[in-house]
Amino acid sequence: MNIQQFAKHTGLSAHTLRYYERIGLMGTVGRGPNGHRVYGPHDAQWAILLNRLRETGMSIREMQRYGALRAQGNSTIAARLALLERHTDKLATRLRLEHEHMARLREKIAVYHAQLNGIVTGAHRDLLT
């Protein structure tokens, strides 16, 4: 696949793919006879994982650390596992907080709907601010 096809397939922009290549996240990307990047299925699996890591809040530095461990082979499986477990724990905490925030916002929305419908009681007046 060329970079445009690959970008569409992985959900990453061509700009992001070039950046990831420049900072060492994509490893060595193949080149066609014309010098253009050529990506294969193995590249796609890796890029899709990188996209998932980034979208779940992993820092570029941690992604680079994970990529460096991956490049060292199976001897780093325990370290990769630990890194992913830490990231998953952080993500779970963030999601719990996001759900709490959403619940409070929904409560506020319900109060405003009630106010618009003229059924605000004294018990809910303190929630209107």
Which amino acid, one-letter code, is at 119? I
Query: At residue 72, does pLDDT exceed 90?
Result: yes
State pLDDT tens for residues 17-68: 999 999 999 988 889 999 999 999 889 999 999 999 999 999 999 999 999 9
For the ranges 2-11, 79-88, 113-122, the maximum mean pLDDT occurs at 79-88
| Inter-CA distances, 26 with 32, 39, 49, 65, 94, Å | 17, 10, 11, 13, 28
Which pLDDT does position 27 carry in this prediction?
A: 86
Q: From 26, 60, 55, 51, select the one nearest 40 (Cα to Cα).
A: 26
CB-count burial class (<10 Å; 0-12, 13-18, 19+) for 29: middle
Q: From 45, 49, 51, select the one nearest 13 (Cα to Cα).
A: 51
Query: At residue 109, does pLDDT exceed 90?
Result: yes
Query: At residue 115, does pLDDT exceed 90?
Result: no
Query: At residue 124, does pLDDT exceed 90?
Result: no
Which pLDDT does position 60 carry in this prediction?
A: 97
Which pLDDT does position 28 carry in this prediction?
A: 85
Lowest average pLDDT, out of 64-78, 82-96, 107-121, goes to 107-121
Class of domain 3-93: mainly alpha
For the chain, what are the domain ranges?
A: 3-93
Whole-number Å distance between alpha carbons of 99 and 68: 34
Quick one: tokens of 129?
Answer: 């601010």
Query: At residue 122, does pLDDT exceed 70?
Result: no
Which pLDDT does position 98 carry in this prediction?
A: 97
